[in-house]
Structure 1
Amino acid sequence: MDRNTICALTDKVAARMQHLGNVTGLQEECPISIIRMDTWEWAQGVGLYGLYAYYRETGKTEIRDFLIAWFEDNIRRGLPEKNVNTMCPMLTLSFLAAETGREDFLSLCREWAQWVMEEMPRTEDRGLQHVVSGAANDGQLWDDTLFMTVLFLARAGKLFGREDYLAESVRQFLVHIKYLTDRKTGLWFHGWTFQGHHHFAEALWARGNCWYTAGVVDYLDIVEDLDAGVKWFLLDALKAQAAALERLQHEGGMWHTLLDDPDSYVETSGTAGFAYGILKAVRLGYLEPRFLTVGKKAALAVIQEIGEDGTVGQVSYGTGMGATLDDYRRIPLCPMTYGQALPVLMLTEVLKLEPEPKQQV
């Protein structure tokens, strides 16, 4: 695929995301819709971040204008309560605030970052409790939290010169690695609870794992001058995860929604997140060059799931903590904002594999 073809494909996926609605009529479980693009939740936050990455890669100002209008509309309607998941849109807002200098955007970033530091509930070992809309999840750590909240906290630390925010972001990465890593495989369990001290169903869930693969490479971009020892530790976790993913990749290029269960369905959003993180990690020298083959194979598989209208198929609906592995196997498939956004992120990385066309003199 040449650069122009990739850009055209990304345009389709991004445009579809901007107008996504509940096309299947799925009965939603989240109190705030995570399917529609016009609401403020984690799914839309991932969508906004994907769009912003594409804007930064291509300079398409119409995408930036859409993002600014999205935030203006939601701010005007009133924002939801603060929690781990509703924090996710703030990551993109922090970039727009820095780019535009708008005080209303900057003020919101200050307010929400301060809430994380001072008021967000903590578990034992001071981990961020995975509070979501409608559920406190007392004593629980989830692998989603790093992408949904901690990336923004690190960004706020850089934006406002707050070393305490950056230090807290480091602690959260270390705490989550401590409690969620499966030492047998190098993969991540979906969650841990201090109320009973267990990993629930011990699910090695694909999209949950991809929040680390995709998140850690961007976290390292955000913090820039991270202590070398901490950086090595985070990358060791990524390398262990990537080695397991290499072994478990389906022959068609995707990964199963339960990574170690070949009878569970293959799933696109997690695959796109893995492809993005792996391709970027190879480009930056974090992973060995052999993983380029793994990332490319996954990217081609994701591209095959993109429909003519830009809708990405084979995407699982939002997935709460499962008590059994069957809870994950039964999650329905439905077009989702993050199901569009993770392929957009992936395609922005695929673009970097293709050189800019030479200008004729």
Structure 2
Amino acid sequence: MEPIAAEALKLPSRLLYKQQTEALIGKVIGRMQRLDATIQEDTPASIITMDTWDWSQGVGLFSLYLYYKETGDRAVLQFLVDWYERRIAEGLPGKNVNTMCPLLTLSYLYEETGEAEYLRICEEWTAYAVDEMPRTPEFGIAHNAVDNESRNELRGDTLYMTVLLVGRMGMLLGKEYYVQESIRQFLVHLKYLTDPNSGLFMHGWSFEERHHYAGALWGRGNAWYTAGLVDYLDMTELPFGVEMFLLSSLERQVEKLAELQAPSGMWHTLLDDPTSYEETSATAGFAYGILKAIRKGYLSESYRACGLKALEAVIGRIDEDGAVQGVSYGTRMGRTKQFYKDIPRCPMPYGQSMTLLMLVESLKHYYE
């Protein structure tokens, strides 16, 4: 009888966690959908509100789509459809690395709705990314955006904002060349951005100046890999050797992350600098990527405690209204480490997004 009694003691905690988390998810989603700028922005269009077609909003939209697929919540699906219909009616922005990001979710909405215009837009933009987007030496996608016109710079952000789309569309359209191009981008970015000493990733590399700028091991830049890779592996079919290579990079990264995790469960915006502030979006992205990688068998169970500690820390950063606090604003390439320490913090779509993904993933782990 003792095992039954022990199991009975677990059930209320499990059910309570599920109920509390689902309520928290509702708050986080609701707040994402009505974010307002609380700081003075320095971008041509807001990357805080959800009313703009850009990378920040694109990250948020993708988490909402994954939540819809997990739950079947038709209200979330309708929000997504309405969002894209409004943006398309307004006219889409110019094509660059960052504005590619919302196309990832649109490609899935095409499958949900059968709307031919969605597929046409995705095909047009992906073809541009593959065939026309400016390249660095060794054919890496140059991180060109509205506020950055360097044609010879790699940034880790590109993998999440553009390369996931290329791989996804390769699978959707049956274009193996697109999948192979996405592989090439992962490999060239890892070649130039991986810090050989730690296994973490630098923010960027300049082919013109031949350096890593400030040499910053930037938190959210690393989280794009941790969170992005586990979803990339879901949306593409890769050669076994490539998959193993990417996962070995993930394992080495997470090994170092576990070492650098603060006592609070958070990670600093500069991962190896405890004098820099603890940053929530990176922590949520790490928690999501680590926990999902464990569930998928990509990482050892030994990292579960690290992921759950980060989860609990991020939950502590969600306010009563569902806003995720302690999220650094959009971060350009810094030439000094102090630059990263000075980035302001406020609720952002990607902070809400990474937190949403983390919370949904946590329901598959807690009290198992």
Name the TM-score, length of structure 1 as normaliser.
0.96
- Kindly indicate whether residue 138 of structure 2 is the aligned counterpart of residue 115 of structure 1: no
Q: Which residue of 2 aligns with 1:61?
A: 74
1:268-279 correspondence runs (5 A): 268-279=280-291
> How many Å separate the matches in 1 of 2:67 and 2:363?
10
Work out whether residues 83 and 131 of structure 1, in 8 Å CA contact, stay in contact via their aligned partners in 2.
Answer: yes
> How many Å separate the matches in 1 of 2:107 and 2:47?
21
Letter in 1 for 2:72: G
Deviation at 1:58, TM superposition (A): 1.1
Mark the CA change 1:12 to 1:108 in structure 2 (over 3 Å): closer, same or farther: same
Q: Which residue of 1 aligns with 2:47?
A: 34
Letter in 2 for 1:157: G
Q: Which residue of 2 aligns with 1:359?
A: none
Query: 1:290 aligns to what SS in structure 2?
Result: helix
Work out whether residues 32 and 133 of structure 1, in 8 Å CA contact, stay in contact via their aligned partners in 2.
Answer: no
Query: 2:179 aligns to what SS in structure 1?
Result: helix
Query: 2:205 aligns to what SS in structure 1?
Result: strand
1:131-170 correspondence runs (5 A): 131-170=144-183
Residue from 36, 60, 66 that aligns with 1:47? 60
Work out whether residues 269 and 316 of structure 1, in 8 Å CA contact, stay in contact via their aligned partners in 2.
Answer: yes
Residues 165-196 of structure 1 show CA distances to partners (whole Å, capped at 9, x for unaligned) of 00000000000000000000010000001002
Q: CA RMSD in A?
A: 1.1
Residues 67-109 of structure 1 show CA distances to partners (whole Å, capped at 9, x for unaligned) of 0000000000011100000000011111111121110101111
> How many Å separate the matches in 1 of 2:99 and 2:190?
23
Residues 95-148 of structure 1 show CA distances to partners (whole Å, capped at 9, x for unaligned) of 111121110101111000000011100000000000111321220000100000
Work out whether residues 53 and 348 of structure 1, in 8 Å CA contact, stay in contact via their aligned partners in 2.
Answer: no
- Kindly indicate whether residue 315 of structure 2 is the aligned counterpart of residue 300 of structure 1: no
> How many Å separate the matches in 1 of 2:365 and 2:256?
24
Letter in 2 for 1:2: Y
Q: Which residue of 2 aligns with 1:347?
A: 359
Letter in 2 for 1:7: E
Query: 1:286 aligns to what SS in structure 2?
Result: coil
Residue from 253, 260, 273 that aligns with 2:272? 260
Residues 188-233 of structure 1 show CA distances to partners (whole Å, capped at 9, x for unaligned) of 000001002110000000000000000111111111x310000000
Name the TM-score, length of structure 2 as normaliser.
0.94
> How many Å separate the matches in 2 of 1:184 and 1:322?
21
Residue from 113, 130, 133 that aligns with 1:100? 113
More divergent stretch after superposition (1-10 vs 288-297): 1-10
> How many Å separate the matches in 1 of 2:337 and 2:70?
39
Q: Which residue of 1 aligns with 2:26?
A: 11
Deviation at 1:33, TM superposition (A): 1.0
Mark the CA change 1:184 to 1:355 in structure 2 (over 3 Å): closer, same or farther: closer
Letter in 2 for 1:102: E
Work out whether residues 98 and 159 of structure 1, in 8 Å CA contact, stay in contact via their aligned partners in 2.
Answer: no
1:317-328 correspondence runs (5 A): 317-328=329-340
Query: 1:332 aligns to what SS in structure 2?
Result: coil
Deviation at 1:153, TM superposition (A): 0.7
> How many Å separate the matches in 1 of 2:135 and 2:188?
11
More divergent stretch after superposition (148-157 vs 28-37): 28-37
- Kindly indicate whether residue 219 of structure 2 is the aligned counterpart of residue 197 of structure 1: no
**Runs of 4+ more than 3 Å apart:** none
Letter in 2 for 1:9: L
Residues 2-35 of structure 1 show CA distances to partners (whole Å, capped at 9, x for unaligned) of 222211101100110001111x2x2212212101
Identity of aligned residues (%): 55
Structure whose CA Rg is larger: 2
Gaps of 5+ in 1: 357-361
Instruction: Count residues in correspondence.
Output: 353
Residues 47-82 of structure 1 show CA distances to partners (whole Å, capped at 9, x for unaligned) of 001111111111111000000000000000011100
Residue from 175, 186, 189 that aligns with 1:176? 189
1:234-249 correspondence runs (5 A): 234-249=246-261
Q: Which residue of 1 aligns with 2:8?
A: none
Deviation at 1:354, TM superposition (A): 4.9
Letter in 2 for 1:249: Q
> How many Å separate the matches in 1 of 2:223 and 2:148?
23
Gaps of 5+ in 2: 1-15
Letter in 1 for 2:84: F
Query: 1:312 aligns to what SS in structure 2?
Result: coil
